[in-house]
Amino acid sequence: MSDRDEFGAFLVGFVVGGLTGAVVALLFAPQSGEETRALIKDKSIELRDRATHTTEDLIARAEATASEYRARADELTKLAREKTVELANEVRERGKGALEAVRKTKKDDATAA
């Protein structure tokens, strides 16, 4: 998890640094104000589209991961229920065996007396 956090921080820094460099390059470029504004508008639209696409990808990944973990949790729940039933049956059988042993002991004591 720590590696993901570090990569996320790196990615955010990289994007912010790239944007800062792009803005500085646009402001100091030898173009007219109208050309610069048009370029800024185009780049901002491109960046918005890229951010939207990245967000959609992240949402899709998160949904897939959540679905995967949900399925795994359901599988583990089913397994736990099966084990619980097995243990309950085993305890029931052992209890029956113990009860029969007690009855036999009482019967043997009654016939011996």
The number of residues in the chain equals: 113
User: Residue 99: is its pLDDT beyond 90?
Assistant: no
Helices 33-112 and 2-27: crossing angle, nearest 10°? 170
Q: Where are the domains of the chain?
A: 1-30, 31-112
Q: Would you place residue 2 in the very low, low, confident or very high pLDDT band (cuts 50, 70, 90)?
A: low
Average pLDDT taken over every residue of the chain: 86
Q: What is the per-residue pLDDT for 20?
A: 87
User: Residue 52: is its pLDDT beyond 80?
Assistant: yes
Report how far residue 93's alpha carbon sits from residue 59's, in angstroms, rounded to the nearest whole number. Answer: 51
Report how far residue 36's alpha carbon sits from residue 25's, in angstroms, rounded to the nearest whole number. Answer: 10
Looking up tokens 């359901």 gives 74
